[in-house]
Structure 1
Amino acid sequence: MAPAAAAAAQPAPPSLSLPPSQFARLQPHAYLLAHLSPPPSSNQPSIRANGRAPSQFRVTSANTGSLTHTNGSAVVRLGDTTAVCGVRAEILHTEDIASWSVSRPTPASSSPTGNKRRKLTDSTAKLSAESENKEEDGDDESQIQDFSLLVPNLSLSTGCAPGFIPGAPPSALAQSLSHQILTLLHSTRLVRAEDLRIWYQPPNLGPEELERHNENEQMDVDAPQGEVDLEKNKEIKAFWVLYIDIMIISLAGNPFDAAWAAVLAALRDTKLARAWWDVDNEMVVCSDAVSEARKLSLRGLPISSTFCVFEADAASGWRAVVIPDAEEEKELDDSTRKGIQRRWVLADPDGYEEGLSQERICVVVDKEQDGKGKTVIMKLEKNGGWAVDTKELKTLVDISAQRWEDLKQILEQC
């Protein structure tokens, strides 16, 4: 009895199983694959390690006007990734632009096209207005790019994620994200150059003065003299330059979507003071009245959605069956097909999933505000692999369109 009692008092041998936290650190690929590919007999859907469905985005929140020393600011939180954006506006005089004298646009009223436009019929004038809008869009893009009127800068704060230590130089990730944001600002033509121009309109001197100053110039008889003279003498004296500073204070995957959403929210919150050219002092003067400040008239609302592709390791034999013939795969039932899935497209990847995927897709869409709600693809970028085909890209565009609706409501509420 004594030996039996002693044996019963001995502790049980330790279990050979690992807790989920250690399993995730030791075998991250197998850990995520175990969630996405459950046994067919369990009848459980594919679910990610963070509890989301493959096409589900993280909870998003936005807040504007948090920084009082900026013209516009926003804080956007995408799961555990948080981005803070502040927009500062500064005045750039045309005298300080070296290429301004050679790139100065010719007034429309002084060109033959401007004189003939007044004599067009209604139907032709409509086509002329459309072409004029296209020219204006091209002018917006050229001036904003040539004079660098939009200057984004993204930085990753110390401690936002492991590996970002104090005193380190700007990382390649921060420089890459800054360039992507600048490229997207230019390609979408989000900010209009007209909102950034500071004009000088000379006063109307009257018929006698106009006749004396323009005695050597032939006026257009089809247009009022005052209109022609005002259009001719109107000139740009300065531009507003928008410095867009973004800081990622918490990085847990997908920093581009969070940073771009913060830029959108901050630009929607940006107000520019009423500015005019003071002839006596030869300088730009701004009004202190807050009521006279105006918001930017942004062109659309492009929303970015990022996806990553997670592929199963067929060599490890983890419920992955290689089917050599596509016809044989079509004949399989649903339960068997569930066990042979070898890759998943994950929306809004977190930091854990980004480290396990190599192929990434970024889709930027916008919707027309004409009542039809047609989806317009502003950017479609895929890098790191060739697993996603045309059919899956169309599905990702549909998911991005739904994401546009959700994020639009969030930005309108802030």
Structure 2
Amino acid sequence: MASTAASAPAVPSLNLPPSQFARLQPHAYLLAHLSPPSASTQPSVRANGRAASQFRVTSANAGSLTHTNGSAVVRIGDTAAVCGVRAELLHTADIASWSVSNASDEEADSATQKGASQNADDDRNQVQDLHLLVPNLSLSTGCAPGLTPGAPPSTLAQSLSHEILSLLHTTNLVKADDLRIWYQPPNLESEEFRNAAEGMEVDSEQNGGPEPEIKAFWVLYIDIMIISWAGNAFDAAWSSVLAALRDTKLPKAWWDADNETILCSDDIADARKLSLRGLPISSSFCSFEADAAAGWRAVVIPSPEELKSQGQKEGSQQRWILADPDGYEEGLCEERALIVVDNEDGKTVILKMDKLGGWGMDSDDLRQLVDVSAERWQEMKQILDQC
């Protein structure tokens, strides 16, 4: 009679689900995706399935808020930002350093005698000096588990607000003339004085009369709320600001000389949109590097022979530059880059380039990132034009 061999006890599997592996060894998990073993047929992709230079799916919707002069919602992946623009009047009489006579002469000269670049510089100085653009970003919306709703502004929120304000001034996006409210004093010596109407528009052809005066400015309060945060909050916030400013309409306003105040028209047909300068699009990147001191490096990093065949030195660290990093990738990368570009007559113009947190990115990397940012500009233009 044959004896039945006792079955060996089952050995428990040591494999971990991907979700647990990602939480326990986040760096190894991302590195295993970006640098799979040579024997594997798995392509080099990020943990979220995107290629290194691929951005998340982006959508935009303008005019979402009713009690604003302009608004927009922009979603980049799982990161969503809502922006509302409110316009308020600032009388020149309330500006301590304002001199109506001197300012009107300077503005009239700049409008007729100076070139376009000089006018842009004047606009930038006036918008910045008078604080006509006031952005404020809030993260206290319950957008992420670590951010308490209703909490005071965090350091990150204040930093993002400052970055948006700095970029508004750097790009000179909003024209100061769109925010000015002019008044043409009547010519008391003219025969047409008796027919002058209140709130007369600036007449550049008037000869021998007094110079036009600036009586007030529109101040734009730009409120941004991050309602869902899954990494790369700046690109989502800046895109929402762009979309909201493109949607902003200012009511027709004029100076009432009899009552010495500003009057606004209730007719929506009289409202006018802002004439923005260009379309600056921001693209964020981060640099992920393999950790040579980790014990799992020999498993997921090619052997020295393979590195040599690829033209790399033994022991050299591999590095990947990831576009539009999500929250998981941002926690694993220290070196970051921000590139803001625009397109003028078919040519890419770099408006801003920031790099911080390391020294791995060189000039060749930045040139490639500019090309990626130029492609992103084309994509974002189509999205914003359709919203």
Say if 1:103 and 1:82 are closer, same or farther in 2 by CA, change over 3 A.
Answer: farther
Which residue is 1:285 aligned to? 263
The answer to whether the 8 Å contact 2:141/2:226 transfers is: no
Structure 1 residues 388 and 296: alpha-carbon distance in aligned structure 2, compared to 1, 3 A threshold: same
CA gap 1:4/1:281 in 2 versus in 1, 3 angstroms: farther
Identity of aligned residues (%): 68
Q: Measured at CA, do residues 239 and 108 of structure 1 come closer, stay the same or move farther in structure 2, by a change above 3 Å?
A: closer
Distance 1:106 1:226 in 2: 16
Cα distance in 2 for residues equivalent to 1:176 and 1:322: 43
Matches within 5 A, 1:232-251: 232-251=210-229
* Deviation by residue 1:350-409 (Cα, 9 ceiling, x = unmatched): 0000000000000000010x3xx1111000000000000000100000000000000000
Which residue type is aligned with residue 208 of structure 2?
Answer: D
Q: Which amino acid aligns with 2:68?
A: T
Alignment partner for residue 229 of structure 1, among 193, 205, 208?
A: 208
Q: Distance in 2 between matches of 1:16 and 1:177?
A: 43
TM-score (norm: length of structure 2):
0.89
* Whole-angstrom distance in 1 between the partners of 2:107 and 2:55: 51
Q: Whole-Å Cα distance in 1 between the matches of residues 351 and 178 of structure 2?
A: 22
**Structure 2 Cα separation of the partners of residues 79 and 303 of structure 1:** 17
Task: Say if 1:37 and 1:339, in contact at 8 Å, map to a contact too.
Answer: no
Contact 1:320 1:341 in 2 (8 A): no
The structure with more helix, counted as a fraction of residues: 1
Structure with bigger gyration radius: 1
User: Unpaired runs of 5+ in structure 2?
Assistant: 194-202
Quick one: distance in 2 between partners of 1:2 and 1:272?
96
- Alpha carbons 1:360, 1:383 under 8 Å: kept: yes
d(CA) in 2 for partners of 1:73, 1:54: 32
Query: What residue identity is the alignment partner of 1:256?
Result: F
TM-score w.r.t. structure 1 length? 0.83
* Aligned residue in 2 for 1:314: 292
Contact 2:90 2:219 in 1 (8 A): yes
Alignment of 1:192-341 (within 5 A): 192-205=175-188, 207=190, 227-230=206-209, 232-316=210-294, 317-318=297-298, 319-320=300-301, 332-334=308-310
SS of 2:93's equivalent?
helix
Q: Secondary structure at the match of 1:233?
A: coil
Q: What corresponds to 2:38 in structure 1?
A: 40
- Contact map agreement 2:140 2:152 (CA 8 A) in 1: no
**2:132 aligned residue:** 149
2:15 to 5, 17, 29: 17
Distance of aligned partners of 1:237 and 1:263 in 2 relative to their CA distance in 1, 3 Å threshold? same
Superposed, 1:32-111 pairs within 5 Å as: 32-101=30-99, 104-107=102-105
Structure 1 residue 139 displacement after superposition:
1.4
1:166 aligns with 2:149: yes
Stretches of structure 1 that go unaligned for 5 or more consecutive residues are 118-128, 211-223
Partners in 1 of 2:20 and 2:81 — Cα distance?
30
Whichever residue aligns with residue 321 of structure 2, its letter is V
